[in-house]
Chains A and B, each alone.
Chain A
Amino acid sequence: MMVVKIDKQKWSSGINQLKSTYDVYGPAKQGKTYEFQKLGSEQLPDLTVQNTTLSPKSIVFPQSEKMFSFHTDENKSGHHILKEMNNQSMPKAVLGIRPCDAKAFQLVKLNFDTCEYKDPYWIRAYESTTLIGLACNNPCSTCFCTSTGCGPFSETGLDVLLMDQGDSFIAKSLTPKGENLLKTATWSDSFDPATAESILKSGKEKAESKIASRVKTDQLASKSIMKIYEAPFWDDVAFSCINCGTCTFSCPTCWCFDIQDETKGCQGIRTRNWDTCMSPLFTLHGSGHNPRGEKTSRVRQRFMHKLKYFLDKYNQGIMCVGCGRCVRLCPVNIDIRQICNMMNSYQPS
């Protein structure tokens, strides 16, 4: 572990150094919202943003990603053969990612990087990305990260943790990747690790004390899947839902995708695109049958997957990091915190 102090006057020069080795991402104004985007040559991340509207998952898992190209002209060689697209890019550095969003990559990794299946696109992008987290001194009122095995100063999944100290940052590297990044940026003013730990500890306590929003998850594992599935509250939970994709698309842990071939003449590409369990098309079979044809079953699927199936399958807690985005953005105020508590406390009669 290496701890350095980054004087804010050296912040921008360090970032510019990084740009020769990394594609540097950070929060920036985009349209009317703040999102993670690739920073331009003189652009700095805007670290005044509490939380970006969308999560930074698209940096590793783009909303639409080209997988293969092909052609169908039988007079030419190689027809109907999928050729892998060259998706190689520079290593990426994500500056100012929040601890919740970094932890989310760890949860998604459980799905994309397993003994049985390795998703080359996700793994390649993830492994070439360095995550420089910014501890949350002022969490939002909708943040409930301390209930999800995460927290405003959580280090899980990060390569570097930054804590804003006013005119400087304390930067604690957590992995060799993180150390490399600090060296590349020539941020090397060493700082006493013990002092850093005590500053981080008090910062953490202060930030965690500001989080008033909590969920209970302690009973979820012991509940029967079928009993919760058949609980009487799902129709009420789903009533106001309009079945848009806002919750799933803004969620840092939602990973579902759809694969499509797009052709023009004889040329084609195979892409994968984010999909959402809120859409009827997500589960529509080729036969025309739809096992989740009704709104209630789709809403139930979202919460059962995040709060029960995932937990049972991986034993790594719920598939939610408590970032609060779905709570803030849902057009009709469906609040995962309430639903999680309902599921956790449900006693079948």
Chain B
Amino acid sequence: MIEYQKKIQNIAERLLNEKKVDVVLGFKKGTIPMMNQPCLVRVPDETQKLVWDSNCGINLTNYLTNRKERIGIIAKGCDTRNIVTHIVENKIKREQLVIIGVPCTGMIDKAKINGLMVNEIAEVSEHNQEITITDSRGATKTIQKKEVLQSNCSICKYKNPVIYDELVADLVPESKDIDRYEDIRKIESMASSEKFKFFEDMLSTCIRCYACRNACPLCYCPTCFVDESKPQWLGKGMDPIDIRTFHFLRAYHCAGRCTDCGSCERACPMDITVRQFTKKLEKDCVELFGWEAGLTLDKRPPLDHYKTNDPQSFIK
């Protein structure tokens, strides 16, 4: 990762020096273990603060929306798919961007790492594909990174950037024959009452902080439907119906657009597996339309355009 980091810093410095971009969007080192902070670098001297490791799970495309400057953005596979979606949806222009592509080997899951140690985690370091964890009493454990990946990363099909101008390392091999929908099929096979219970349990700890929505690059509506007040569509309390309505509608709004970057789950303070919703819709889009989001600039997502030869009669 340290090689990646050096290369990222060099590219960022060069782009700023050559005035190809006004800012570079990347990560700086966080203040606690397993956290980095999205940041903007404006001058070449500051590029040394850019970091790269397996704690860069927040999707930086979220910070591009409607920006006007020329931006260098450090982007892993999923981030680039969201950049494509942003360009197609007119949220940023391709000409504004210099995409610094990062072939990604996955991000680590804080909760999984916390679960491996009895005491608080003091430090997490990585070398090649190994992660070394040190706890507050000095005990250490070294494990393979693949054992503690975020669950979206462990089933990722697009580790490499799908669109880029610069590349920080050689492309990494993509995983073959991944079953992305094992959990979704399990839910699909449940009886209605069982499904209802499953979702009820899943959302029972939601505090409506909207971290999932706000960490999502797709959720750029100027006013989200849950924040509309004239008219107000949704109650503001803890009624489970309101909470479910938020999650279901948000997921539907992401149908055919979600790249399963995992930012929503990563941001959730209550560790709710909100990707279960978006993945079901992703699966439907694959099966019904042969569509995966963010792979091409030439086509619009299946649910945001109309074809006269649509097989469904209700829409004609």
Contacts and interface: CB of A to CB of B under 8 A. Distances in A.
A333 B270 contact: no
B229 to A, nearest CB: 6
Given A30-B205, A240-B37, A273 B62 contact: no
Nearest to B213: A244
Candidate in A50, A63, A239, A240 with the most chain B CB atoms within 10 angstroms: A240
A31 B270 contact: yes
A245 B209 CA distance: 4
Contacts of A327: 31-32
A240 B41 CA distance: 12
Contacts, number: 118
Interface residues of A, number: 44
B32 A331 contact: no
A244 B36 contact: no
A332 B37 contact: yes
A249 B207 contact: yes
B215 interface: yes
Nearest to B268: A331
A216 to B, nearest CB: 16
Q: Interface size class for chain B?
A: 35 or more
A251 B121 CA distance: 22
B232 to A, nearest CB: 8
B105 to A, nearest CB: 22
A281 interface: yes
Interface string A1-36: 000000000000000000000000000001111010
A256 interface: no
B35 A333 contact: yes
A276 B227 CA distance: 12
A262 interface: yes
A273 B30 contact: no
A59 to B, nearest CB: 15
Interface of chain A, helix or strand or loop or mixed?
loop
Given A242-B215, A245-B209, A33 B227 contact: no
Contacts of A54: 207, 269
B210 A140 contact: no
A242 B62 contact: yes
Contacts of B245: none
Contacts of A246: 209, 211, 267, 269
Contact of B271 (A32, A276, A328): A32
A328 B207 CA distance: 16
B3 to A, nearest CB: 24
B111 A271 contact: no
A262 B272 contact: no
Given A141-B120, A260-B237, A245 B210 contact: yes
A331 B215 contact: yes
A271 B237 contact: yes
A141 B267 CA distance: 21
Interface string A323-334: 000011101111
Interface of A: 30-33, 35, 50, 53-54, 63-64, 138, 140-142, 239-240, 242-246, 249-250, 258, 260, 262, 271, 273, 275-276, 279-281, 284, 327-329, 331-335, 337-338
Closest 10 CB pairs of A and B: A331-B267, A64-B237, A244-B211, A245-B209, A31-B205, A242-B214, A32-B271, A333-B37, A333-B30, A64-B238
Interface of B: 30-32, 35-40, 58, 62-63, 111, 120, 122, 136, 201, 204-205, 207-211, 213-215, 223, 227, 229, 235-239, 263, 266-267, 269-272
13 contacts: A31-B201, A31-B272, A33-B271, A54-B207, A64-B236, A64-B239, A240-B37, A245-B210, A249-B208, A276-B209, A327-B32, A328-B32, A331-B267
